């Protein structure tokens, strides 16, 4: 018995010693985090509450208030290039999508992702991730370019650019704007009659939730890329959502812009020395409009606001699902828009496919069958406080809201002012997941990542951001280095120079007063353009059949 007591005592002491010092015990590795990346389409810098909007977005605001907001996060000014840069961690030309998803005859403009990059999904699969995608793809049209060929295990994708929200007929280019799921083209999806409850933003979420449910028993981390095509034109929303906003915009665009600007300053998202840019010269004063015109414009913005409202509702559904699955405490969520708000005008019936053209009638914006956009007039509001729009490289075209959220991992309520870019998303996700970027993949030599990880910013540490960022899209160009930026419109091609630290709304062109700095940045642009395979747009267009 004495020996038994001695043995028990020794055993207890040994357990206590091992527990204290960890000798001979290998601690389990912490579970790799799940990652949810949410991308919306054509939404402006100030269109959600956390970035100054009057549109209630409680779910996104929750993410922002309990996570961090980046105040100088950049996209590439257009949907396809942003998707290419986001997926690859390099500039879009280097990934093969220097323009859009049509082939313009050179490797940098082939219109789909090349084999010299890996996607986020391809990288994460090397660490055992289940990879999921629901939404707009737009960076490769043929089966060998679909999401499944680029690392996604399960996906439901609109391959082309946009679609009707209630009847998913393509607005044009039917050969590109179709839907696929898990390797199969859904041949009749765009022509099958949909239930009255159908709405494409809801459908993308339904599919994402279905994929998440299927991860329950896999015991693997997951990556979910949800790429909504809202609020891309045509602006279409549910009547009950529109009713919330009818009449709220009768005060006019100048008043709404001013109020958004004040909220942005009060939030600290923008600096007070960055003055509100003037109303775009193509937009009339509100008091110049007839009453019927005011009512029509009010309705257009009400529909657009309703689309944002519905996006936020669906993001809330994803948050609820993460909680139901018990994974919300180990999931990073990122949210951004692919470019600035769109000035583009609605298409006429002549530009539609026959099926879609049959739906296009001279109807008001709140009719589910209408193909309507909200044009320069309200896009100027969405991009408050900046100049210009989607497609161009002034701040209104390239500035995006960016929110990062992970409970217990990211300090709540922070603002990150350092310049960041969509090329930084892949390196950051790889950093979080422990992915080592390979030199080769499936026999192909990879080009090096251009982006840098901002994980340290998420960890509450100092992050200096990108020292230099480049842009080129269809002849529109820009460079930002530190506090300085040069930018030019195509086809004028005249460089402008701005001190972004003092004048981010680009009101004071310093090109003539500081020619040395202007030339320094032009030289940097020219060197990058050669390295990235950029071709002068005019030359490229002339060569294209």
Residue positions annotated with a catalytic role = 79, 138
Longest Cα separation, the chain = 102
Phi, psi of 160, rounded to the nearest 5 degrees: -90, -155
Reading the block at residue 132, the tokens are: 């999921």
3-state DSSP assignment of residue 10: helix
Helix (H) or strand (E) holding 267: helix 253-267
3-state DSSP assignment of residue 82: helix
Q: Which residue has the tokens 């050179």?
A: 106
Report how far residue 163's alpha carbon sits from residue 386's, in angstroms, rounded to the nearest whole number: 28
> With the CA atoms of 165, 132, 59 and 45 taken in that order, what torsion angle do they form, in degrees rounded to the nearest 10?
-70
Report how far residue 472's alpha carbon sits from residue 293's, in angstroms, rounded to the nearest whole number: 37
Report how far residue 409's alpha carbon sits from residue 416's, in angstroms, rounded to the nearest whole number: 16
**First and final C-alpha spacing in the chain:** 96
Reading the block at residue 320, the tokens are: 């609820």
Report how far residue 374's alpha carbon sits from residue 368's, in angstroms, rounded to the nearest whole number: 15
Residue 376: how many CB atoms within 10 A of its CB?
19
Helix (H) or strand (E) holding 202: helix 200-213
3-state class percentages of the chain: helix first, strand second, coil last, to nearest 5:
35, 15, 50
Residue 214: how many CB atoms within 10 A of its CB?
14
Listed residue (106, 110, 116, 78) closest to 449, CA to CA: 116
The alpha carbons of the chain give a radius of gyration, in whole angstroms, of 25
DSSP state of 215: T
Residue 498: how many CB atoms within 10 A of its CB?
24
Give all strands of the β-sheet with 496-499 in edge-to-edge order.
468-473, 476-481, 484-488, 496-499
Q: Which residue has the tokens 């583009």?
A: 344
3-state DSSP assignment of residue 227: strand
Half-sphere exposure of 383 (CA within 13 A, CB side): 35
Residues 6 or more apart whose CB falls under 8 angstroms from that of 56 comprise 49, 309, 312
Burial 82-99 (b: 16+ CB within 10 A, else e): bbbbbbbbbbbbbbbbbb
Q: What is the DSSP string of 92-149?
A: HHHHT-SSSSS--SSGGGSSS--TTS--HHHHHHTTT-EEEEEEE--S--SGGGSGGG
């Amino acid at each position: 018995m004495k020996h038994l007591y001695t043995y028990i005592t020794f055993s207890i002491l040994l357990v206590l010693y091992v527990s204290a010092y960890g000798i001979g015990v290998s601690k389990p590795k912490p579970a790799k985090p799940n990652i949810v990346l949410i991308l919306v389409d054509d939404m402006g810098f100030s269109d959600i509450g956390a970035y100054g909007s009057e549109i209630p977005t409680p779910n996104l605001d929750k993410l922002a208030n309990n996570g961090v907001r980046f105040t100088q996060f950049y996209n590439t000014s257009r949907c396809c290039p942003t998707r290419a840069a986001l997926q690859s961690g390099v500039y879009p030309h280097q990934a093969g999508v220097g323009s859009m998803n049509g082939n313009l005859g050179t490797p940098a403009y082939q219109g789909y992702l090349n084999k010299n990059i890996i996607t986020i999904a391809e990288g994460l699969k090397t660490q055992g991730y289940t990879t999921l995608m629901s939404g707009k793809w737009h960076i490769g049209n043929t089966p060998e370019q679909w999401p499944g060929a680029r690392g996604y295990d399960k996906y439901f994708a609109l391959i082309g650019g946009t679609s009707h929200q209630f009847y998913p007929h393509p607005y044009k280019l039917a050969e590109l704007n179709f839907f696929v799921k898990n390797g199969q083209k859904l041949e009749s999806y765009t022509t099958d009659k949909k239930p009255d409850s159908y709405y494409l933003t809801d459908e993308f979420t339904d599919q994402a939730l279905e994929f998440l449910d299927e991860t329950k028993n896999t015991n693997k981390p997951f990556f979910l890329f949800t790429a909504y095509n809202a609020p891309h034109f045509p602006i279409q929303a549910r009547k009950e959502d529109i009713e919330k906003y009818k009449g709220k915009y009768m005060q006019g665009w100048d008043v709404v812009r001013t109020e958004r600007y004040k909220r942005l300053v009060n939030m600290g998202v923008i600096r007070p020395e960055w003055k509100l840019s003037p109303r775009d010269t193509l937009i009339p004063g509100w008091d110049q409009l007839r009453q019927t015109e005011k009512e029509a414009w009010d309705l257009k913005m009400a529909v657009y606001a309703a689309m944002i409202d519905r996006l936020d509702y669906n993001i809330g559904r994803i948050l609820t699902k993460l909680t139901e699955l018990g994974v919300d405490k180990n999931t990073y969520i990122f949210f951004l828009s692919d470019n600035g708000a769109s000035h583009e005008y609605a298409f006429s019936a002549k530009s539609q496919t026959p099926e879609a053209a049959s739906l296009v009638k001279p109807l008001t914006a709140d009719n589910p069958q209408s193909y309507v956009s909200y044009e320069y007039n309200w896009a100027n509001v969405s991009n408050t406080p900046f100049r210009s729009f989607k497609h161009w490289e002034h701040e209104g075209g390239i500035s995006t809201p960016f929110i990062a959220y992970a409970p217990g991992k990211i300090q709540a309520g922070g603002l990150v002012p350092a310049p960041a870019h969509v090329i930084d998303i892949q390196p950051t996700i790889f950093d979080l997941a422990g992915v080592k970027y390979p030199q080769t993949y499936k026999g192909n030599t990879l080009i090096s990542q251009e982006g840098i990880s901002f994980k340290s910013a998420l960890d509450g540490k100092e992050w200096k951001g990108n020292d230099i960022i480049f842009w080129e899209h269809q002849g529109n160009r820009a460079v930002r280095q530190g506090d300085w930026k040069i930018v030019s419109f195509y086809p004028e091609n005249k460089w402008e120079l701005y001190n972004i630290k003092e004048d981010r709304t680009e009101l004071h062109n310093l090109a003539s007063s500081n020619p040395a700095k202007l030339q320094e940045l032009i030289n940097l642009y020219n060197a990058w353009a050669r390295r990235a395979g950029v071709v002068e747009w005019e030359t490229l267009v002339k060569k294209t059949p």
